[in-house]
Chains A and B, each alone.
Chain A
């Protein structure tokens, strides 16, 4: 089903709410609950540069951004063999879906320097890159990830694609930041262990231990043609990619030379 603008139309109406609040399955996952929650176990050290980071000083976020998570599912859809058109529809459907993340309860960041290759200023076409060092951060997590997708604005067949793609996601953020899929279920409500966007319709609160980070997400006009890494089109801020101030339920509890430690309040 497509809207006048050609984008897939969001399911709406009281019937939808009733279905999500019933115990019957949606996308094969029993209810009740409007939140489709995927669980992953962290396997490798995580790193994802903040959008404000420079290439020389790459501070990391403590959670993957909604953009990174959604793109991981689109990538998984391609790898799972879904047709290109359906992968494009998945991306467009996800552009209006809120996702919220519950990080593992403990995290410690290692601050370090690594060797990188950087475009050389010499302009030698036969030696385009040169060696350099850059500040990088890596996070070790203890606990589990929970990634929750709002089914309220997601068509059932797209939710089914998500459920099928979830086991194909084996890393998020920098390569080597492995995660292992561990199951799916639905929840009626999310507690304060989940991230909270500050631009949503609901009031938001800051848990006793938390910090605020600016996370990127798909914008309202996001399409595969624009966001594809291999597309020459430019993604425009506000249209194809948006930045949302988000409450992350992990607070700083200790810091010292070479590390910062975070934990949840519980």
Chain B
């Protein structure tokens, strides 16, 4: 595979009977997330969707154990999947950001507060999850680590995605108020409605391998080359795991049936980004190929696109990338 700067995935995923992303509950009815889109005929359509935030959450859930297995450092917050990552439960990091300390610059020792670039170095060195998934530190100043992985909304295809509400009953022998008829059989049953969606979903995501372990301010590596590679490999495996097991909401009783997965994986070996195209369009795989041709005309051989027809083929492509990738500059 050689040097990999970025990986782009455009895929159609068939998920049946899932409830991976819900907006909330009104009364005893749970509401799934719906978005409005313009379909290929120019008509407005309302379709079920799973937010990019949810897929990022799923990705992180897979990534943490992979980073632990690789022996990469994790902050106390990252270890317990706290969304605030390096910011959470971390008094040493608070002190580093807020107290004066000694820094050695060009052989001279100076006592002062840490600069933004030094805080960013600390974030990358102390927490590999913060390095890959990003975090915002707002201690006296704002220092942001932009995520190296990005997900768009995972949107159902109009006419090929359906959502239904199902009636459920939960037996609750205690705690029901008398007004609901607590003494009767009906009073001991909590009635509720829960959605289940089935259909073809369009997924796009991008992984900037070249930024893993690199400080955004100084644009220099903040961690050793071996660590950068180990983290990049874990990130690619976590992407594969995200497709294999979309670990969203309601999986205790509505674990999604993954029926099919097809798409295109684009890999860029230069600073040109790996192309992605919305799988809401039937022509998406061809368009990814066409975009790669445009980019290769500018820098020959910099973008490679591999199409897959099944989930296992997609896994194989990502496994090959993970096994042989090199991080630029590492």
Residues in B whose Cβ lies below 8 Å from that of A175: 146-147, 150
Distance A140 CA – B37 CA, assembled complex (angstroms): 5
Distance A254 CA – B152 CA, assembled complex (angstroms): 25
Residues in A whose Cβ lies below 8 Å from that of B35: 45, 110, 112, 138, 140
- A44 contacts B143, C-beta separation under 8 Å: no
B36 lies within 8 A of chain A by Cβ = yes
B116 lies within 8 A of chain A by Cβ = yes
B275 lies within 8 A of chain A by Cβ = yes
Distance A41 CA – B152 CA, assembled complex (angstroms): 14
- A183 contacts B33, C-beta separation under 8 Å: no
Given A43-B278, A126-B94, A230-B117: A117 touches B83 (CB 8 Å cut-off): yes
Q: Which residues of B approach A to under 8 Å, CB–CB?
A: 10, 23-24, 33-38, 42, 44, 46, 51-53, 83-84, 87-91, 94, 116-117, 138-139, 141-144, 146-147, 150-153, 155, 204, 206, 216-217, 219, 271-273, 275-278, 287, 291, 294-295, 298
Partner of A81, one of B138, B271, B295: B271
Partner of A168, one of B24, B271, B291: B271
Partner of B204, one of A107, A178, A181, A254: A178
Residues of B contacting A: mostly: mixed
Distance A258 CA – B89 CA, assembled complex (angstroms): 38
Residues in B whose Cβ lies below 8 Å from that of A79: 271
- B278 contacts A129, C-beta separation under 8 Å: no
Residues in B whose Cβ lies below 8 Å from that of A176: 52, 150-153
A199 lies within 8 A of chain B by Cβ = no
Closest residue on chain A to residue B144 by CB atoms: A229
Residues from 163 to 199 in A contacting B, C-beta threshold 8 Å: 167-168, 170-171, 175-178, 180-183
Residues in B whose Cβ lies below 8 Å from that of A106: 38, 42
Closest residue on chain A to residue B34 by CB atoms: A258
Residues in A whose Cβ lies below 8 Å from that of B276: 43, 170, 178, 180
- A178 contacts B94, C-beta separation under 8 Å: no
Give the distance to chain A from B290, nearest Cβ to Cβ, in Å: 9
Distance A259 CA – B53 CA, assembled complex (angstroms): 20
Residues in A whose Cβ lies below 8 Å from that of B278: 41-44
Give the distance to chain B from A87, nearest Cβ to Cβ, in Å: 11
Distance A177 CA – B204 CA, assembled complex (angstroms): 10
Q: Add 15 more A-B contacts to A117-B83, A140-B155 (CB < 8 A).
A: A43-B278, A45-B152, A81-B271, A106-B42, A110-B35, A110-B36, A115-B53, A126-B91, A141-B38, A167-B294, A170-B273, A175-B147, A180-B275, A230-B117, A230-B143
Count of chain A residues with a beta carbon within 8 Å of a chain B beta carbon:
48
Q: Give 18 pairs: A residue, B residue, CB < 8 Å, sorted on A.
A: A43-B10, A43-B277, A44-B278, A45-B153, A80-B271, A108-B44, A110-B35, A126-B91, A127-B89, A129-B84, A138-B153, A140-B36, A168-B272, A175-B146, A180-B287, A229-B144, A230-B116, A232-B116
Partner of B52, one of A44, A119, A125: A44
- B36 contacts A259, C-beta separation under 8 Å: yes
Residues in A whose Cβ lies below 8 Å from that of B51: 114
Q: Across chains A and B, which 4 residue pairs bring their CB atoms closest together, nearest first?
A: A44-B152, A142-B38, A140-B37, A259-B36
Distance A183 CA – B294 CA, assembled complex (angstroms): 8
- A112 contacts B152, C-beta separation under 8 Å: no
- B294 contacts A182, C-beta separation under 8 Å: yes
Partner of B138, one of A115, A119, A171: A119
Distance A42 CA – B147 CA, assembled complex (angstroms): 21
Residues in B whose Cβ lies below 8 Å from that of A204: none
Give the distance to chain B from A207, nearest Cβ to Cβ, in Å: 19
A214 lies within 8 A of chain B by Cβ = no
Residues in B whose Cβ lies below 8 Å from that of A171: 150
- B116 contacts A182, C-beta separation under 8 Å: no
A221 lies within 8 A of chain B by Cβ = no
A109 lies within 8 A of chain B by Cβ = yes
